[in-house]
């Protein structure tokens, strides 16, 4: 049985793939481009393919005639043409919960950087601004206390629920919107409509998958409904936000700051308007990347494949 890993670099620099190699004849590529011909050539006659971000579209699926299983090494599966896969009875799996704690942690890393401004003040101290100061303290940018602020969560899956728990420990007010209403037992969380969330939140954090319905979920019209001075956090998918509209809102002060671990095209393009926007904190899609989290991702990906081969599919995407 031939197994192809199309883009293992993000995982394989410090992780051991021996358990996967024990499952079958494994060819591990660090990277594969987005060109269909290259992808088809690398898949060849393989029946098993694992991918992280390399897209597998209808043309690839049509040509990869032996393909029986696609394992997405991540939660989002927008890189797979699901209609084409289903039409060929190809099983697609993902890893839905491997990064819950890490991404929730990183959501607050972005928020705390915005509200506490650790990075700039650390740099100022190392630039001798403090040693030359007349006072025992100084701050170059305003600091914001989170207690009593309203955090609005768009989407309320596992990651958002963990973010809510952390926010509760900061004595924040927590509201959420989910496209399907959720049953909640906590009396400190309030479920609201989408527009109500936009209007009431001091901080909005995005936790939904990318679909045709969620692309540009936050654009000019939605930003207009937000509080002036709101903070926007995105650790989900870059295309959820209209980046030109967000850049305008940051530059005109409608949005106080944005903390983004994702952008619409990755790696980020030099002409992305957010690179020149005020108070925009951008990191290179690393919320998922602690070694512990990546190790868990690899283990679950291998177990997904083993379950498929045993006839008991786990984490199948329908």
Out of 237, 243, 294, 296, pick the active-site residue. Answer: 237
**3-state SS, residue 245:** helix
Assess whether 237 carries a catalytic annotation: yes
**3-state SS, residue 86:** helix
Q: Residue-wise over 12-42: b if at least 16 C-beta within 10 A, else e?
A: beeeeeeebeeeeebebeeebeeebeebbeb
**3-state SS, residue 314:** coil
**153, 160 contact by CB (below 8 A):** yes
Out of 37, 129, 145, 266, pick the active-site residue. Answer: 266
**Three-state secondary structure of 153-165:** EECCCHHHHHHHH
Instruction: Kindly state the DSSP code that residue 218 receives in the 8-state scheme.
Output: B
**3-state SS, residue 294:** helix
**202, 230 contact by CB (below 8 A):** yes
Assess whether 294 carries a catalytic annotation: no
Rg of the chain over CA atoms, in angstroms? 22
**187, 238 contact by CB (below 8 A):** no
What is the helix (H) or strand (E) element at residue 292, kind and residue range? helix 291-309
Contacts of 45 (CB under 8 A, 6+ apart): 2, 66
Assess whether 168 carries a catalytic annotation: no
First to last CA, the chain: 24
Positions marked active-site: 237, 266, 285
């Amino acid at each position: 049985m031939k197994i192809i890993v199309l883009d293992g670099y993000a995982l394989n620099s410090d992780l051991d793939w021996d358990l996967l190699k024990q499952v079958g004849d494994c060819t591990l590529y660090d990277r594969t481009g987005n060109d269909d011909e290259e992808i088809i050539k690398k898949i060849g006659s393989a029946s098993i393919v694992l991918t992280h971000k390399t897209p597998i579209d209808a043309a690839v699926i049509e040509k990869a005639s032996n393909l029986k299983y696609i394992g997405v090494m991540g939660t989002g599966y927008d890189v797979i043409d699901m209609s084409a896969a289903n039409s060929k009875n190809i099983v697609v799996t993902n890893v839905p919960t491997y990064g819950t704690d890490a991404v929730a942690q990183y959501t607050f890393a972005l928020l705390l950087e915005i509200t506490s401004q650790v990075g700039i003040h650390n740099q100022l101290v190392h630039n001798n601004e403090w040693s030359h100061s007349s006072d025992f303290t100084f701050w170059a940018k305003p600091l914001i206390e989170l207690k009593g602020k309203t955090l609005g969560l768009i989407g309320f899956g596992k990651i958002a629920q963990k973010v809510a728990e952390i926010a509760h420990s900061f004595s924040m007010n927590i509201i959420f919107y989910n496209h399907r209403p959720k049953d909640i037992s906590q009396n400190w969380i309030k479920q609201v409509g989408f527009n109500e969330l936009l209007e009431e939140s001091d901080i909005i954090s995005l936790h939904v998958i990318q679909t045709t319905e969620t692309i540009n979920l936050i654009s000019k019209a939605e930003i207009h409904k937000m509080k002036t001075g709101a903070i926007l956090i995105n650790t989900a998918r870059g295309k959820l936000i209209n980046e030109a509209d967000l850049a305008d809102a940051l530059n005109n002060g409608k949005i106080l700051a944005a903390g983004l671990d994702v952008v619409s095209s990755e790696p980020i393009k030099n002409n992305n308007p957010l690179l020149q926007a005020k108070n925009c904190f951008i990191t290179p899609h690393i919320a998922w990347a602690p070694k512990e989290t990546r190790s868990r991702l690899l283990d679950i990906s291998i177990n997904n494949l083993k379950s498929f081969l045993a006839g008991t599919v786990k984490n199948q995407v329908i």
